[in-house]
Amino acid sequence: MKQHQLPKDFLWGGAVAAHQVEGGWDQGGKGISIADVLTGGRHGVDRVITDGIIDGYLYPNHQAVDFYSHYKQDIALFAEMGFKCFRTSIAWSRIFPKGDELQPNEAGLQFYDDMFDELLKYNIQPVITLSHFEMPWHLVTEYGGWKNRKVVDFFIRYSEVVMRRYQHKVKYWMTFNEINNQRNYKTPLFGYCCSGVIFNQEENPEQAMYQVLHHQFVASAAVVKLGHAINPEFQIGCMIACVPLYPYSCNPDDVMYAQEAMHERFLFSDVHMRGYYPSYILREWERKGFDIVMEPQDAQTLRDGCADYIGLSYYMSNAVQANAKGTGSALSGFEGSVPNPYVKTSEWGWQIDPVGLRYSLNILYERYQKPLFIVENGFGAIDKPDASGKINDDYRIAYMQAHIEQMKKAMTYDGVEVMGYTPWGCIDCVSFTTGQYSKRYGFIYVDKHDDNSGTMKRSKKASFDWFRKVIASNGETL
C-alpha cells in the first residue's frame, strides 16, 4: 500500500438495521419486538411506545421499506454500487419470537440464510449487529428487559444460535448498537429501545441504567468469547455512538469538563476493549452510593471477551461548557452542551463537523491501538425530486466527501487503522429518532411517505453514481 492510498481490502459498503428496513413484522413466525410497538413521530423526537398494538396508530416499522420481500432487488443495487460489505442487524424476535424459548424459529433463520447467500453471490460481506435497538417484546413485558439478569442468558442463547448457523457466511459481527446511547436514559426512546426499561419509573434511574449496562457488558463479552470458539476467524466488535465533546473554550474549567464528559463515551469502549471497569466509573459509583449487582465470575467474563475492533457511528460533534452544566442545556443528551459557533447545523440540530471524525478516529486509536470501523455516517435530509423525478442530493454528497476526506487523512497521514466505511441508511429507511420516512439518508430512494402512501418503488439518487465511483477508485475519486 502506498502511503497515500487506502488498503485494497477496505470495506466500502452501507448500513441499516433490521427494524428500520425489513418490515414483515409478523411474517415467517416472527414475534413482536420492542420496535414494533413504537409509533411514528412528528418532526422531532416524540415517538411513542405503546403497551400493545393500537388501531389507528402508524407503526412505521411494521412495513418499513419492506426489505423483507425486496432484498434481492436491493442487494442487486448495492452490488451495482460496488459494495464490499453490507451492515444490517438480525431481528432477535425472528429467531426467538418471544426470546425465552429453547428452540429457534426455523423460518426466521432461513430468511437470513437466504439474504446472506444473496449478498455472498456478489461477494458482499455481511456485517451483522446482534442487537440494534430492539428485543422481543415478551422479554420487556414478562422480564422487565435488560434489568433482569435472565436476559443475559437469553441473549447468549440467541447469539450462539445465529453465530453457529452463519459461521461460514458471516465473519464480521457487532454486539450492541450504540451501546452508549443507554446513557441517554432520560430520553425514553433511547432508554427503552436499548434496554426495555423505562428508567423514569425506576426508584434510582441512573443506578438502574448501570445495572442494565453491566448485564449488556457481560453478555457482550460472553458472546465475543463464544464467537471466537465457534470460528476463530470471526471479527467481533463493539459499537459506540461517537460524538466527541470539545471544550467550548480554553478556560481550564471547560477543558477539564470536556475531558470528564468524554468518560461518557470512553466508558463503553474501555470496558469492551480492556475488559474491566475503569477507575473513574468505580469512583463515580462509590460517590453516588450505587450498588451494581455483579456475579463473582463477571470480572473474568469481561476480561476474556475483549472485542476485536470498535465499530462507531459518527454524525456530529458537540461542545461543552462547564458553566452550562446544570442549566438544562443539552444537545444530543449531554448536559452542558452548547452550540459550537464554528460548525453548521443540520435541520435536526446535528452539528456537522467532518474534522471531528478525524479527531475521533485519532483519540480512539491512540487509546486502544485496535482497528476501527466506521459503520455509520451520513446526512439525513428531506429529499425533493426535481421535475424529472430525480433526487439531486448534492448536500449528501458534500457531507460524505468531507467526511471521507477526513477519514483518509486519519488513515494515511495519522496512521489510524480503519477497516471500512458503511454510510448509514444506504437505502432510505425509517429514521430511528423521528420515526419518519421523510428523514432520508439513502443512495437509493424509496417511494414511501409519512402518511403511509407510496409504492415502495426504488430509484437511484445522484449520490448513487457518486458513491459507485468512490468505491471503484478505492476512495481516490471523491
Residues that bind ligand BGP (CB under 6 A): 17, 20, 177-178, 241, 313, 376, 380, 424, 431-434, 439
**461542545: which residue's cell?**
319
Give the other-Cβ count within 10 Å of 453's Cβ.
9
The residue assigned the cell 441473549 is 155
Please choose, from the candidates 19, 14, 22, 13, the residue with its C-alpha nearest in 3D space to the C-alpha of residue 456: 22
Minimum CB–partner distance for residue 190 and ligand BGP (Å): 9
Which uninterrupted H or E stretch holds 236?
A: strand 235-241
CA dihedral 405, 410, 411, 414 (to 10 degrees): 140
Q: How far is the CB of 300 from ligand BGP (least distance, A)?
A: 30
Query: Could you tell me if residue 175 is left (phi over 0), alpha (psi between -120 and 50 degrees) or otherwise beta?
Result: alpha
Residue among 18 and 212 whose Cβ is closer to ligand BGP? 18
DSSP state, residue 381: B
Minimum distance, C-beta of residue 119 to ligand BGP, in the bound complex (Å): 20
- b/e map of 245-271 (b: 16 or more CB within 10 Å)? bbbbeeeeebeebbebbbebbbbbbbb
Catalytic pick among 376, 405, 417, 476? 376
With respect to ligand BGP, which residue has the nearer C-beta, 354 or 378?
378
The residue among 159 and 434 lying less far from ligand BGP, judged by its C-beta, is 434
Query: Residue 307 or residue 324: which is nearer to ligand BGP going by CB?
Result: 307
Q: What residues form DSSP beta bridges with 331? A: 334
Nearer to ligand BGP, 167 or 438 (CB): 438
In the complex, the smallest distance separating the C-beta of residue 432 from ligand BGP, rounded to whole angstroms, is: 3
Query: Could you confirm whether 405 is annotated as catalytic?
Result: no
Exposed, middle or buried by CB within 10 Å (0-12, 13-18, 19+), for 168? exposed
Mapped onto helix, strand or coil, the DSSP state of residue 27 is coil
What is the identity of the amino acid at 80?
Answer: E
Residues marked as catalytic: 376
